[in-house]
Amino acid sequence: MSIPMTMPLAFPASDNVNDSTVFDTVMDELRVPRTGAGRPRRRPDADIADKAYSSRAIRQVLRRRGIQAVTPERTDQKANRLRRGKAGGRQPAFDRELYKARNVVERCFNRLKQFRAIATRFDELATRCKAGVHLAALILWLREPTQDPLSDRP
């Protein structure tokens, strides 16, 4: 299965900054390719993320944009919500079946981490790190074997 490489890459200015702080930047640069003709969409159907992106602010951004949030609730957030009782609100919706598709993203990250400079965050400048990720993604894409649809051999 091939993953379209249209996901924008936004890197924090330093290692001390959380990745979720650049969430708005990533969402602004996001383009979802269409299967047919036409320009790419700017709004995906769903955002499948891990627990690090479970904050109330991120969920509000997604809700405002009309994007379904498929993110499990962190245990500390659940405990705080339950502690507050009725004032804590209801549990956020979570589609367990759709979340299973996240493994494709994790496998892509693991393949990118095969490149030492990316795995160790060797580059100090965000632009160089972004260029390295683009280069690694291109190398992985070119390495992927292609199969002739009419051939019976892999």
- pLDDT tens digits along 8-60: 455 444 455 666 778 888 888 888 888 889 999 888 889 888 888 888 888 88
The span from the CA of 70 to the CA of 128, in Å, is 31
| pLDDT given for residue 13 in this prediction | 47
| pLDDT given for residue 150 in this prediction | 54
Collapsing DSSP states into helix, strand and coil, what is residue 1? Answer: coil
Instruction: List the Cα angle 54/82/99 in 5-degree steps.
Output: 35
pLDDT of 149 above 70: no
Give the start-end residues of each E strand in 17-144. 46-48, 68-70
pLDDT of 135 above 90: yes
CB neighbourhood size of 49 (10 A): 19
Output 74 or 21, whichever has higher pLDDT: 74
| pLDDT given for residue 2 in this prediction | 39
How much is the pTM?
0.67
